[in-house]
Amino acid sequence: MDCTSSPPKLISTVRPSPFFKAFYNSRVVAFSSYPATVRLPKPNLNPNPRVLSPMAWATRFLSAVAFLAVGVVFAPDLFGSGPASPAAAVSVAKIAHLLCFATCWGSALWVTFIGGIIMFKYLPRHQFGNLQSKMFPAYFMLISVCAAISVMAFAYLHPWKSASSLERYQLGFLLSALFFNLSNLLIFTPMTIEMMKKRHKVERELSIGDEVGRSKNMEVAKSNPQLAGMNKKFGMIHGLSSLANIMAFGSLAMHSWYLAGKVQL
């Protein structure tokens, strides 16, 4: 016997059952009915959806502070405001008002007249817009929280019923600053960012947007009706946002004049 020869092949005589054939054919038909391209669901970037982002926590904190400020303005007696207020509570209210007002005033001054102009002057336009889209929500969140705390502290120190006309005007200025900041945070800034992203997409297709300083947008928009329409809508929304920011800054400036008259050097 030749040991080097291959072993004989075994031929199976077992035939599949009719049940197995039916099951196999059903799987083949089901697989062939699938579409050529299958859209997979988008991956969940947040592995734990119960964990809130920092901006979500800030929004909840702002809501609580705003409701508390409204309560102090319209019902100061419920919070112990008045001539018989504890000295410690009065001191805390004064410190909270001064620190929050200074933070709000300084942030508005820097972003509106210094930081924004420098970034616009030295950054590519699309990079500048993307940076602003990340910075402005946090900026308006910060100054809205500070304005709400300032309103709450000032209303606690000067209840509406016993306040003088000058103090009532100052409370009105603080409320105006809070209103304009909230309108920017909740309405104008999201609309501006959305329109900016749409315009950036069109500008990338036209190979513009990377220039620093003077923009090529207006020249290209003369021959592109779609870009011209986006420019008009973006300018209107951005103008309302800038107006609200300037009105809030003006209200804070009026209150700074009032505080300067109270300081004794």
pLDDT tens-place string over residues 133-188: 999 999 999 999 999 999 999 999 998 888 899 999 999 999 999 999 999 999 99
% of residues, the chain, pLDDT over 70: 74
Q: What is the C-alpha to C-alpha distance for residues 204 and 198, in angstroms, rounded to an integer?
A: 10
- Tokens in use for 87? 């000295």
- What's the one-letter identity of residue 241? S
Contact 100, 142 (CB under 8 A): no
Task: Tell which residue, 142, 141, 66, has the closest CA to residue 103.
Answer: 142
CA 61 to chain centre: 14
Residue 83 has a pLDDT of 65
The total number of residues shown for the chain amounts to: 265
Q: How far apart, in whole angstroms, are the C-alpha atoms of residue 140 and residue 152? A: 18
* 217 — pLDDT class (breaks 50, 70, 90): confident
More confident residue, 28 or 89: 89
Q: What is the mean pLDDT of residues 5-14?
A: 50
Give me the amino acid identity at 23.
F
pLDDT for res 229:
92
CB atoms within 10 A of CB 247: 17
Confidence of residue 73 (pLDDT cuts 50, 70, 90): confident
pLDDT score for 31: 46
| Contact (Cβ atoms closer than 8 angstroms) between residue 145 and residue 58 | yes
Residue recorded with tokens 């799987």: 27
Mean pLDDT, range 43-52, rounded to an integer: 55
What's the mean per-residue pLDDT of the chain? 82
Could you tell me which residue, 52 or 132, shows the higher pLDDT? 132
pTM greater than 0.95 (yes/no): no
Which position has the higher pLDDT, 130 or 31? 130
Task: State the Cα–Cα distance between residues 227 and 241, nearest whole angstrom.
Answer: 21
Could you tell me which residues are beta bridge partners of residue 124?
212
Amino acid 59: pLDDT: 74
Q: What is the DSSP string of the chain?
A: --TTSPPPPPPP-PPPPHHHHHHHHHHHHHHHTS-SS-PPPPP-S-S-TTSPPHHHHHHHHHHHHHHHHHHHHH-GGGGT-STT--HHHHHHHHHHHHHHHHHHHHHHHHIIIIIHHHHHHHSBHHHHHHHHHHHHHHHHHHHHHHHHHHHHHHHHHS-TTT--HHHHHHHHHHHHHHHHHHHIIIIIHHHHHHHHHHHHHHHHHTT-S--BSS-SHHHHHTT-HHHHHHHHHHHHHHHHHHHHHHHHHHHHHHHHHHHHHH---
